[in-house]
Amino acid sequence: MNKNFGQGGAFSLFKGVPLKLILVALFLLQISLAVGLTGYLSIDNGQKAVNEVTSKLRREIGNRVEQNLQTYLSTPRQVLGSNQNIIDLGLLKIENLATWESYLIEQLKIFPDALILTASNEQQEHLAAEKLNDREFLLRKAGKSTGYDLYTYKIDSQGQRTQLPEVIKNYDARSRPDYQTAVTAKKFSFSQIFTPLTEPTLLIGASQPIYNSQGQLLGVNSTLTHLSQIGDLLQNIKVGKSGQIFIIERSGLLVASSTTEEPFRLQNGKPIRLAATQSRNYFTQATAKYLTTKFNNFDQIKSLQQLDFSVDGKRQFLEIRPLQSESNVNWLIVVAVPEADLIGQINRNAQTTIFLCLGVLGLAILLGIITANWLTQPILYISNVIKDLANFNCKDSIVKVQGIKELEVLGESFNEMAQELQKNFTALTNKNEELELQVKQRTQERMNSEQKLQKHHQVLVKLANHKAISEGSLETAFKVITEKAANALEVERVSVWLFNSDRTKLQCINLYERSNQIHSAGLERNLADYLIYFKTLAASSTIIVTDTRTDLRVQELWDELLAPKNIVSLIDTSIWVGDKVVGTVLYEQIDAPRTWELSEQNFVSSIAEFVALTLEICECKRAESALREAKEAVEVANRAKSTFLENISHDLRNPLSSILEMTQGLQSEVYGPVNEEQRQSSKYARNLAVRTY
């Protein structure tokens, strides 16, 4: 076939143009396109990567903050719930706070340092314990013994109490926000953030009201948490290089921040809540002002939102999400990440890529010129080699090409072609032999499968004709069934199990062990001990287990029943009589796991049907026997009735005859005249005697 390659179209434009110039121009064009496309994709992919990474980063950080806060806020619920249980058991009484002191201190040894535990009652008594470190505690106490003034004590590791000079006169814990919140809510609840009388800080309380059996309020058990601890929690979460996390209330007041800034400022020695827009941190303040402008009212934020805004011309990424995991805790979590934290390295990489591309472009031009000069020298010789190859038809000829590696490879490839052809013929022959071997193997497998099916069929035919099964002889039939099934499937153990009358256990009627050739019975499996196994048995007609060590359906049986016998595979088939499962046939394989073939599964189903048939025949035999015994009993009763009636008839006939003769004589006045009353009586007696006779 003749082909005029390059004689028309675009190739005609290069007619008469030197090959050197064409190669250089093509190299330059390709590299220019590659550089431009690489630069564009680098910038575009960088921006997409920033957006994607930032979105994931904000979401992951927000999830982590939310999870940490939920865990942190769940601690008071656990503490107060545990205390409520102890109160319900009568081990603590809120009316007697003297017993609470040692208990609260022991609790503080378990829970975080920032937690303050308090107990207050309606008698204006109050007790609060706070952990200073592992060896010292603060105890605040007010009540009748202190003249209802609040005294503060320090307790050391030996339990020695030292009174501190701080005393608050006429202290009533019932006026505290945490106490009032619990009374108002009448259940576990968090209070609003408040300032305690004892120190210039901000606290949030979680309270549990305590009632007696008549529903009367006895007091409140509370935990108090410093907001600074929530700030410490946020500081442990890193957000890029300069990103921030802060929490605000719906009112815009700051709750906590990942910076060192406190959410309040002191005025005349008292803490004043700080709005996020008034933060001394410039980034926090700018973010809060943007959110205020964006939403106007923070109550509009119902779900997670991701935003971006600019601060001093620099793009910032932002996520805000509500936290409403606890009662009265309605906060907003804000995660802010500057774009510069993420895009700086990407921009530097993009610049490096562009410079490298420009360098490669210059190098490509130089290499194009060198390559063109190098290719023009051997091109004529290559043309002659091609002509020789076109007329080459002798398999012993050898082509020799030197210079350019690709041309050398081409010559070597041509020389190897004849050898490869012979190798291909040899490989084809070997492949045919492999295919023939595979066909033989498949044929042998099919023959083995057919032999198994024939063996199974013969066993089923023998069982169908066996006298014990047709007569319903359970013991003999089950021995025959288990033994033949074990030999046919080549398994170690085959057993028949039946439910007891109330279906609370399975009882082994017959167990055949193939290696010992012995039968046994009497094993039991209780429903209460193997709930999952019994449930699976009820839901599935057949349980097929290849490896009992990993199958969850029989894990309950492993330690006690399967492992001691080294049973590693099993198949369990339900026995159906009518529409009810009455038992199961169990096949157990030892030593090596076994994959049960479909033919084997069908065979065990047929065995289960023979067991069911035997049970039905046995039941029919029992019914026939009972019916026959009942019939004989009825016949005996009929004969006894007839004999009894004959005897009674004979015994009554003589006196009744006398009565009839006497009444007839009275009516005929043989014994003299009778009055009307006597005549009626004799008539009645005669009629009665006639009916009886």
Per-residue pLDDT tens over the stretch 684-693: 666 766 666 5
- Residue 568 to residue 198: CA distance in whole angstroms: 69
50 closest CA partner among 349, 352, 343, 344: 343
The residue with greater pLDDT, 8 or 15, is: 15
Q: Evaluate the CA torsion angle 622, 628, 633, 634 in order and state its sign.
A: positive
Q: Which of 30-34, 316-320, 450-454, 584-588 has the highest mean pLDDT?
A: 584-588
Q: Evaluate whether 135 touches 113 at the Cβ level (below 8 Å).
A: no
| pLDDT value, residue 226 | 85
Q: Evaluate whether 205 touches 109 at the Cβ level (below 8 Å).
A: no
Tokens representing residue 237 in the block: 């979460």
Whether residue 252 has pLDDT greater than 90: no
Phi, psi of 546 (to 5 degrees): -80, -40
- Residue 131 to residue 145: CA distance in whole angstroms: 24
- Residue 468 to residue 450: CA distance in whole angstroms: 29
Find the mean pLDDT for residues 176-180: 91
CA angle 596, 597, 603 (to 5 degrees): 95
Whether residue 651 has pLDDT greater than 70: no
* C-alpha to C-alpha distances, 485 to 272, 496, 501, 509, 516, nearest whole angstrom: 86, 11, 27, 15, 15
| pLDDT value, residue 2 | 47
Tokens representing residue 652 in the block: 């009554």
239 closest CA partner among 342, 320, 349: 342
Confidence of residue 505 (pLDDT cuts 50, 70, 90): very high
Q: Evaluate whether 248 touches 295 at the Cβ level (below 8 Å).
A: no
Phi, psi of 131 (to 5 degrees): -90, 120
Per-residue pLDDT tens over the stretch 72-107: 888 888 888 988 999 989 888 998 898 898 888 888
Whether residue 646 has pLDDT greater than 70: no
* C-alpha to C-alpha distances, 248 to 61, 177, 331, nearest whole angstrom: 16, 20, 6
Q: Evaluate whether 489 touches 587 at the Cβ level (below 8 Å).
A: yes
CB proximity list for 383: less than 8 A, separation 6 or greater:
none
What does 48-72 look like in DSSP terms, one character per residue? HHHHHHHHHHHHHHHHHHHHHHHHH
Enter the pTM of the model.
0.47
- Residue 597 to residue 488: CA distance in whole angstroms: 13
Mean pLDDT of the chain: 80
| pLDDT value, residue 340 | 77
Q: Evaluate whether 261 touches 284 at the Cβ level (below 8 Å).
A: yes
In the chain, % of residues over pLDDT 90: 18
| pLDDT value, residue 159 | 75
Tokens representing residue 641 in the block: 């009735």
Whether residue 113 has pLDDT greater than 60: no
Helices (H) and strands (E) in the chain, counts: 14, 22
Cβ density class 281-306: b for 16+ within 10 Å, e for less: bebbbbbbbbbeeeeeebeebeeeeb
What does 98-155 look like in DSSP terms, one character per residue? GGHHHHHHHHHTTS-TTEEEEEEETTS-EEEEEE-SSS-EEEEEESGGGTT-EEEEEE
Whether residue 196 has pLDDT greater than 70: yes
- Residue 401 to residue 412: CA distance in whole angstroms: 8
Confidence of residue 68 (pLDDT cuts 50, 70, 90): confident
Q: Evaluate whether 663 touches 683 at the Cβ level (below 8 Å).
A: yes
- Residue 224 to residue 116: CA distance in whole angstroms: 5
| pLDDT value, residue 393 | 46
CA angle 436, 441, 443 (to 5 degrees): 90
Q: Strand, coil or helix: what is 471?
A: helix
Across 8-12, 81-85, 364-368, least confident range: 8-12
Q: At what angle are helices 598-667 and 474-489 packed, to 10 degrees?
A: 170
- Hey, what amino acid is at 304? L
Alpha-helical runs (H) found in 326-404: 340-376, 379-390
Q: How does DSSP classify residue 160?
A: -
Q: Is 313 exposed, middle or buried (0-12, 13-18, 19+ CB in 10 A)?
A: exposed
Q: Evaluate whether 575 touches 612 at the Cβ level (below 8 Å).
A: yes
| pLDDT value, residue 545 | 92
- Residue 613 to residue 466: CA distance in whole angstroms: 12
- Residue 266 to residue 274: CA distance in whole angstroms: 10
Confidence of residue 358 (pLDDT cuts 50, 70, 90): confident
Phi, psi of 495 (to 5 degrees): -140, 155
Per-residue pLDDT tens over the stretch 203-231: 888 999 999 989 899 999 999 988 888 88
Per-residue pLDDT tens over the stretch 269-286: 788 888 888 888 888 888
Q: Is 10 left (phi over 0), alpha (psi -120 to 50) or beta?
A: alpha
Q: Evaluate whether 60 touches 203 at the Cβ level (below 8 Å).
A: no
| pLDDT value, residue 343 | 67
179 closest CA partner among 148, 222, 214: 222
Q: Strand, coil or helix: what is 568?
A: strand
230 closest CA partner among 65, 406, 344: 65
- Residue 297 to residue 294: CA distance in whole angstroms: 9
